[in-house]
């Protein structure tokens, strides 16, 4: 069963049936202004913060057929025969002759044919704009004339997204709309909660002449609100009521009469939905007042993407890998960088439940630093400013206020720290420096977070100091066995063990963070620090191998009483993926244990849809283990295929030099390959999901929680840096392929530190890894790192494996 196809030439996925098994969405704009738009034109938009400054009202739990924040109605009169439909199928649900939703790079283009009218609507947020722009062209494709009214609609949320749902006293009394006509009858309707009228207002308008408008939902739907979005009663009349709502559920509908369209004739309608200070609304409207201006803005957006994607392009024997690595995966990395885990169909951006996650965004940055350097650096700085003076970190923050909180650990009065958060920032800053080499960053001063002190009063430290304190925190927060304390949880949010439980994954993360710091300190001439960190690495490696090795693989956790989780001694949860992969990432796999634990992962955890997080699943709720046991076996963290962990296995396999297996693991989770099995998979095939139900679950293979997952960043790193092996280091670009033996050659182009590298890798002997020679602009290079001091801007690199 298929719902669409990849159009690689236009870098789009084309949805051909709007009735997808779950909503399939795309992101437009950025967190500064933007949100989600789905396959039927519904849009959940916000400016800078979905919880505190939400614009459109979308209730994700409503059935897919329902109205979602925005739509357009078309009223047609063809020789006396009247009809009403939407070019987006929903919410009218009128049968269509053709439907196509092109999921593009930050734009959505919906083409449909219904009732003899071809509609083509492009939806996007122009670069840097505080507005969503829609340009729609309607063509009469029948051989009789048709009279056409176009009615674009938006329904507003109160700016405080959670209060919209929890408070029916204050919210409705505050919501208002005002209309502003111009002499040419173009109209913009502004909307605000009463307290916002002088600061910022939402606005919805069009440069076209408007006949009439409606802003009161009850009047629009009709029959005291018993009319429906599928057929609003107000649309039975010739004109809308021109009501400026003074309270209640507010919306804006614009009645735009386009007159008679002769056979073959077209008409274009532009709408702009934005937020601005009251006196700059008109200037935002003016920016998009003609088709030419809108198309220019769209072309700029396309240019932005071609420049961004040019950073890394590859041509390999795997079409599915090429499509992901060249387009969809970097696109998803940019999306996670923008939205962290703040706004999706799964993370709803309400209240203080989810914000910009410390660990999440630290990892997201790692996938985006080459693509969007400035934005990545700014995010790194924000993250560092919510690290505390003791080296640990707040779990999440809210970008509009920069207030931070402890995430779910607030549920526990005595343990409000996650044992891992702070270590991710060490990895992220190191990755940033490997890409850009601007070591001055390490000397920039950043405050440490405090809940009680004003910003000016907070202690400050250089970025280097922040990283050192992060390592120090873990060094000094270990338990009885000498392994790092779990705190409320580590990367796996759902294993919440009482008291002074210990985490073997944090031990490995600490090891990996130490490796990064050793490399960095050596590079910046701080051999004193490097030596101390080498010792710390060695010490933790010894403890880890002494305590975590259970004879077959590495154990994942120890309870306060020293009981293992993730050991063959356990009945359930015998083996956890992350304890194995991370041991290798940290260089902790002593005495040839690396391949052995990877074999255990293959035998116990691999399935045709991906590698499970653990096995076997816990079969009942057990408060002593925590959230993991709230899921049935095979779901999410309880033995599900938690995709985020798969790239760590892939990277570990490449570190073992096993290119065949690494690629097999990559390929088996490529969402593009799921296009054919949608009856099982259900979710969007153009981005990675967070989870797929595992083989213990009757719905094995069902994917959920697409878009905002660390999977994006890590798979991008795994594919580009570890399989294709084009890896930034502090000293330059290193070439270290680990590929299937059958690949005879592949190509990569990569922008790196101002130079454009054109890399060809040849594999004449059919190997998995190993490089015999590298020739750079005609000259043989020593070692695998390309020299940085080449003068030419274009660097042609020929790599021969051997």
Give the footprint of ligand GLC on this chain (CB under 6 A).
341, 357, 359-360, 491-494, 637, 690, 709
Total residues found in the chain within this entry? 802
Residue pair 251/155 in contact (Cβ under 8 Å)? The answer is yes
149 given a catalytic annotation? no
For the CB of residue 577, give the shortest distance to ligand GLC in the complex, in Å. Answer: 12
- Give 341 or 415: the residue with its C-beta nearer to ligand GLC: 341
The burial class, CB within 10 Å (0-12 / 13-18 / 19+), for 237 is exposed
Q: How many CA atoms lie within 13 A of 528 on its CB side?
A: 1
For the CB of residue 484, give the shortest distance to ligand GLC in the complex, in Å. Answer: 16
For the CB of residue 711, give the shortest distance to ligand GLC in the complex, in Å. Answer: 9
Q: Which of 150, 148, 139 is nearest to 78 (CA)?
A: 148
For the CB of residue 709, give the shortest distance to ligand GLC in the complex, in Å. Answer: 6
Cβ-based neighbour number of residue 411 at 10 Å: 12
Looking at 343-499, list the stretches that DSSP marks H as alpha helix, in order from N- to C-terminal side: 358-368, 373-384, 421-436, 463-475
The dihedral built from the CA positions of residue 597, 603, 607 and 608, taken in this order, carries a sign that is positive
Distance CA 702, CA 718 (A): 24
Residue pair 213/143 in contact (Cβ under 8 Å)? The answer is no
Cis peptide before 285, with omega less than 30 degrees from 0?
A: no
For the CB of residue 623, give the shortest distance to ligand GLC in the complex, in Å. Answer: 18
- Give 120 or 364: the residue with its C-beta nearer to ligand GLC: 364
For the CB of residue 490, give the shortest distance to ligand GLC in the complex, in Å. Answer: 8
Distance CA 220, CA 227 (A): 8
Distance CA 462, CA 468 (A): 10
The dihedral built from the CA positions of residue 382, 388, 393 and 398, taken in this order, carries a sign that is negative
Residue of 493, 536, 589, 695 marked active site: 493
Distance CA 167, CA 349 (A): 17
- Give 530 or 712: the residue with its C-beta nearer to ligand GLC: 712
Q: Which of 337, 502, 506 is nearest to 431 (CA)?
A: 337
- 485: its two tokens: 């304390």
**45, 47, 49, 53 alpha-carbon torsion, rounded to 10°:** -80
- Give 385 or 492: the residue with its C-beta nearer to ligand GLC: 492
Tell how far CA 723 is from the center of its chain. 22
- Give 201 or 425: the residue with its C-beta nearer to ligand GLC: 425
- Give 493 or 516: the residue with its C-beta nearer to ligand GLC: 493
- What is the number of the residue whose Cβ is closest to ligand GLC? 493
Q: 27-30, long-range: CB within 8 Å, 24+ apart, which pairs?
A: 27/106, 27/335, 27/338, 27/339, 27/707, 28/106, 28/107, 28/108, 28/123, 28/124, 28/125, 28/132, 29/106, 29/124, 29/125, 29/129, 29/132, 30/125, 30/338
- Give 38 or 637: the residue with its C-beta nearer to ligand GLC: 637
For the CB of residue 401, give the shortest distance to ligand GLC in the complex, in Å. Answer: 21
- 407: its two tokens: 């995430």
- Give 120 or 408: the residue with its C-beta nearer to ligand GLC: 408
For the CB of residue 566, give the shortest distance to ligand GLC in the complex, in Å. Answer: 15
Distance CA 555, CA 551 (A): 10
Residues forming the active site: 493
């Amino acid at each position: 069963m298929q719902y669409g196809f990849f159009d690689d030439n236009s870098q789009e996925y084309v949805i051909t049936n709007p009735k997808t098994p779950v909503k399939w969405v795309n992101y437009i704009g950025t967190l500064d202004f933007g949100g989600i738009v789905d396959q039927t034109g519904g849009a959940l938009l916000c400016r800078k913060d979905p919880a505190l400054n939400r614009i459109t009202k979308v209730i994700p739990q409503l059935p897919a057929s329902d109205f979602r924040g925005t739509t357009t109605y078309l009223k047609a009169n063809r020789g006396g025969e009247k009809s009403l439909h939407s070019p987006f199928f929903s919410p009218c649900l009128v049968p269509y002759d053709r439907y196509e939703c092109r999921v593009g790079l930050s734009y959505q283009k919906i083409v449909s044919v219904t009732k003899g009218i071809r509609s083509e609507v492009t939806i996007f947020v122009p670069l840097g704009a505080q507005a969503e722009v829609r340009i729609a062209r309607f063509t009469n494709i029948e051989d009789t004339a048709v009279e056409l009214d176009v009615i674009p609609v938006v329904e507003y949320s109160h700016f405080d997204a959670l209060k919209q749902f929890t408070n029916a006293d204050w919210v409705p009394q505050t919501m208002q709309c005002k209309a502003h006509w111009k002499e040419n009858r173009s109209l913009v309707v502004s909307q605000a909660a009463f307290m916002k009228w002088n600061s910022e207002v939402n606005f919805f308008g069009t440069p076209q002449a408007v006949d009439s408008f409606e802003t009161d939902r009850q009047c629009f739907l009709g029959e005291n609100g018993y009319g429906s979005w599928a057929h609003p009663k107000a649309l039975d009349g010739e004109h809308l009521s021109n009501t400026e709502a003074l309270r209640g559920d507010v919306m804006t509908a614009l009645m735009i009469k386009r007159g008679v369209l002769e056979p073959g004739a077209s008409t274009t309608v532009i709408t702009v939905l934005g937020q601005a200070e009251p006196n700059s609304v008109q200037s935002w409207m003016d920016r998009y007042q003609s088709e030419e201006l809108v198309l220019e803005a769209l072309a700029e957006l396309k240019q932005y993407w071609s420049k961004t994607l040019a950073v890394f392009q590859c041509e390999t024997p795997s079409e599915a890998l090429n499509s992901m690595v060249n387009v969809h995966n970097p696109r998803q990395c940019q999306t996670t960088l923008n939205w962290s885990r703040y706004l999706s169909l799964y993370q709803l951006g309400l209240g203080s439940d989810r914000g910009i996650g410390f660990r999440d965004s630290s990892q997201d940055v790692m996938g985006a630093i080459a693509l969007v350097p400035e934005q990545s650096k700014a995010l790194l700085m924000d993250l560092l400013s919510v690290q505390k003076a003791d080296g640990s970190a707040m779990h999440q923050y809210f970008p509009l206020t920069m207030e931070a909180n402890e995430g779910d650990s607030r549920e526990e009065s005595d343990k409000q720290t996650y044992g891992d958060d702070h270590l991710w920032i060490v990895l992220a800053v190191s990755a940033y420096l490997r890409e850009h080499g601007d070591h001055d960053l390490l000397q920039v001063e950043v405050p440490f977070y405090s809940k009680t002190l004003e910003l000016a009063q907070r202690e400050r430290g250089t970025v280097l100091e922040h990283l050192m304190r992060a390592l120090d925190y873990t060094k000094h927060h270990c338990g009885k066995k000498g392994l790092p304390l779990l705190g409320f949880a580590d990367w796996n949010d759902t294993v919440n063990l009482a008291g002074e439980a210990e985490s073997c994954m944090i031990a490995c993360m600490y090891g990996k963070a130490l490796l990064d710091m050793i490399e960095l300190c050596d590079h910046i001439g701080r051999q004193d620090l490097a030596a101390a960190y080498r010792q710390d690495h060695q010490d933790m490696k010894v403890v880890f191998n002494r305590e975590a090795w259970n004879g077959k693989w590495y154990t994942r956790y120890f309870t306060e009483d020293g009981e293992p989780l993730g050991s063959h001694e356990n009945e359930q949860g015998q083996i956890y993926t992350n304890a194995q992969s991370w041991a290798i990432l940290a260089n902790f796999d002593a005495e040839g244990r690396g391949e052995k634990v990877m074999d255990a992962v293959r035998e116990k955890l691999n399935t045709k849809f991906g590698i499970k997080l653990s096995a076997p699943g816990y079969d009942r709720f057990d408060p002593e283990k925590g959230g993991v046991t709230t899921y049935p076996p095979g779901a999410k963290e309880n033995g599900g295929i938690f995709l985020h962990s798969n790239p760590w296995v892939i990277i570990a396999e490449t570190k073992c030099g096993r290119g065949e297996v690494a690629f097999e693991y990559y390929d088996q989770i490529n969402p593009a390959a799921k296009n054919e099995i949608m009856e099982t998979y259900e979710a969007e095939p153009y981005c990675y999901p967070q989870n797929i139900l595992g083989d213990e679950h009757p719905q094995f293979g069902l994917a959920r929680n697409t878009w905002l997952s660390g999977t994006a960043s890590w798979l991008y790193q795994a594919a580009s840096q570890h399989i294709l092996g084009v890896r930034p280091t502090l000293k330059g670009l290193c070439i270290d392929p680990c590929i299937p033996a059958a690949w005879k050659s592949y190509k990569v182009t990569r922008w790196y530190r101002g130079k454009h590298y054109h890399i060809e890798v040849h594999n004449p002997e059919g190997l998995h890894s190993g490089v015999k020679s590298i020739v750079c602009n005609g000259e043989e290079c020593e070692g695998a790192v390309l020299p940085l001091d080449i003068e030419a801007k274009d660097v042609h690199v020929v790599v021969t494996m051997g």
